[in-house]
Amino acid sequence: MKKLFILFMVLALAVSGVSGDATTRAPASTAADENGSTVLILAATDDNGHDETTATPDDLENEELPWLDDDDEELNVWDPLEPINRGTFWFNDKLYFYLLKPVARGYRWIMPDPLMLGISNFFSNLASPVRIINAGLQGKFADAGNELTRFGVNTTIGIGGLFDTAKDHFNLTKKEEDTGQTLGYYGIGPGPYLVLPFFGPSSFRDGIGLLADSRMVLTYYLWENRDYWTAIVLEKVNQVALDRDTYEGVKKDALDPYLFIRDAWAQYRQNKVEN
Amino acid sequence: MLKQLFIILAASIMLATAAISSAEMSPTDSIRGSVDSILTLLQDKGLDQTTRRKEMRKVINERFDFRAMSQRTLATNWKKASGEQQQEFVELFSHLIENTYIGRVEAYTDEKVDYPGEKVKGDKAVVETLILTASANIPIDYKVYRKKNGEWWVYDVIIEGISLISNYRSSYQEIVSKEGFDGLIAKMRDKIKELQNQPA
């Protein structure tokens, strides 16, 4: 497992080095497709981590609503691995519908709602170091302090994290930060879009982030081997059981679910990095 | 005679005040009005699903500017399309957006909605809303603009940082570039047919 991790890191760094190179070239080579509208936000990340979203296509202008375009952002996801990604997407889709969902349905049937919520809080609390460390690394010390306080309060008064006492009684809300966002904060673009088996939509940057995150979650240090994976699976099943069919909803309405989810994910992550 | 005159006078005053009050509604008031109507419909156990959805569509159609949304979604392709194609796109697109929106709201029947704030900039504004669920708060922002009659209309919905319009735009553009405008229209028709045949 450790070897695999190192191998992946090396591979990912190698590829992201290449991608970094491609990044600087990309705007020139792709900015002019036939509509003149393609703007690679992912490729256009400058050193400060700001995406210079190249001016919106002026042809969006129209006589009726000339102003509607001025806050538009073009979003085109760099997806050179699309054929492979679509394969993994298909795999995850089947996994979700034929394994995860039925299990989650049975789970929801036997588990009382408050307990599911408690388990969700519990795992979220164990992931506190991810948020504390990454808020700190981005210089967001107030958020880091907020997460540290939340961890202290919820672990003690919240009985090992089963209750989100910090939110319910002290009005301290969770600030989501992770390694992918930290890397983005320091100007590293997402690189190619990547669908990970089991974990879903990601990118080269966020994939590396995910690996780093998994080493900051306390679950990793509390249990090992089978117990660790049991904990991971329980967390996932619990999460799906609590979810209100988000994936089904999105999939049902989208003309091409792969594209829709890919673009939603890219926007979601970009927004997370910026905030 | 006098009575008739009085009625006409009263009616015109009422109409005038109604017009003024709608003109002076803040963006948040407008959104709150629509969201409240939708929540009321969702919580009305006496309605069957078909009626409820019909009523919800009505509320949405009085607040969402589907033509503006269509223009922004198609971007370059809007201008290339003929008037007829545009019309058809608006119709199909509004149907799909309604479905997506209603589908998402229906999942959160029993939750409370909070209005943390609004940002107004001239004739445009962003109204922030927060759906409070037990496990998480889901931010939904509405981008609205002021029509000439003073009403605020929605031209984009941003759920957890994801703009619906930007999202549709990138995937639709990819479909248009691969299969052409007619290909997109055909896909949308198939999708709507598929949705109608499915029990919701």
**Percent of chain B predicted with pLDDT > 90:** 30
Buried b (16+ CB within 10 A) or exposed e, A236-246: bbbbbbbeeee
Break chain B down into helix, strand, coil percent, rounded to 5.
Answer: 60, 20, 20
Distance of CA A214 to the CA centre of its chain: 13
- Report the 10 Å Cβ neighbour count for B38: 21
Which residues from A are below 8 Å from B103, CB to CB?
249, 252-253
Buried b (16+ CB within 10 A) or exposed e, A108-120: beebeeeebbbbb
Please check whether residue A193 lies inside any domain of the structure.
yes
Q: Are A107 and A237 in contact (CB under 8 A)?
A: yes
The mean pLDDT value of chain A amounts to 79
Residue type, B53: R
The pLDDT, as a whole number, for residue A2 is 44
pLDDT at A8 over 60: no
Average confidence (pLDDT) over B123-143:
88
Please check whether residue A148 lies inside any domain of the structure.
yes
Q: Select the residue from B110, B132, B162 to test the A interface by mutation, using most A Cβ atoms within 10 A.
A: B162
For A20-67, the pLDDT digits (tens) are: 333 333 333 333 333 333 333 333 333 333 333 333 333 333 445 544
- The size of the A-B interface in CB pairs under 8 A is 116
Please check whether residue A43 lies inside any domain of the structure.
no
Asked whether the beta carbons of residue A260 and residue B160 sit closer than 8 angstroms, the reply is: no
Q: Which residue of B has its CA nearest to A162?
A: B135
Look up the ipTM and state it.
Answer: 0.76
Please check whether residue A14 lies inside any domain of the structure.
no
Q: Note whether B175 contacts A: Cβ–Cβ < 8 A.
A: yes
Q: Note whether A168 contacts B: Cβ–Cβ < 8 A.
A: no
Both tokens of B155, joined, read 């031209």
DSSP states of B35-99 as a string? HHHHHHHHH-TTS-HHHHHHHHHHHHHTTB-HHHHHHHHHTHHHHHS-HHHHHHHHHHHHHHHHH
The pLDDT, as a whole number, for residue B105 is 78
Q: How far off is chain B from A253, nearest CA to CA, in Å? A: 6
How confident is residue B97, by pLDDT bands cut at 50, 70 and 90? confident
Break chain A down into helix, strand, coil percent, rounded to 5.
Answer: 65, 5, 30
Please check whether residue A248 lies inside any domain of the structure.
yes
Q: Which of B76, B183, B108, B182 is CA-nearest to residue A60?
A: B76
Which residues from B are below 8 Å from A37, CB to CB?
75-76, 173
Please check whether residue A6 lies inside any domain of the structure.
no
User: Among A76, A264, A275, whose Cβ lies nearest the Cβ of B162?
Assistant: A264
Please check whether residue A221 lies inside any domain of the structure.
yes
A residues 244..263 contacting B (CB < 8 A): 244-246, 249-250, 252-256, 259-260, 263
User: Among B99, B162, B171, whose Cβ lies nearest the Cβ of A255?
Assistant: B171
Asked whether the beta carbons of residue A249 and residue B78 sit closer than 8 angstroms, the reply is: no
Which residues from A are below 8 Å from B78, CB to CB?
60, 62
Distance CA B24, CA A25 (A): 50
Q: Which residue has the higher pLDDT, B107 or A92?
A: A92
Q: Which domain holds residue A191?
A: 78-274
Please check whether residue A66 lies inside any domain of the structure.
no
Residue owning tokens 């050179």: A80
The pLDDT, as a whole number, for residue B167 is 87
Q: Note whether B167 contacts A: Cβ–Cβ < 8 A.
A: yes
SS3 B124: strand
Distance CA A133, CA B6 (A): 72
Residues paired with B118 in a beta bridge: B127
Asked whether the beta carbons of residue B175 and residue A255 sit closer than 8 angstroms, the reply is: yes
Q: Note whether B49 contacts A: Cβ–Cβ < 8 A.
A: no
The pLDDT, as a whole number, for residue A15 is 38
Which residues from B are below 8 Å from A271, CB to CB?
160-162
Number of domains in chain A: 1
Q: Which residue of A has its CA nearest to B100?
A: A253
Length of chain A: 275
Q: Are B94 and B66 in contact (CB under 8 A)?
A: yes
Distance CA B167, CA B118 (A): 23
Q: What contacts B44, CB < 8 A, 6 or more positions away? A: B52
Q: Note whether A68 contacts B: Cβ–Cβ < 8 A.
A: yes
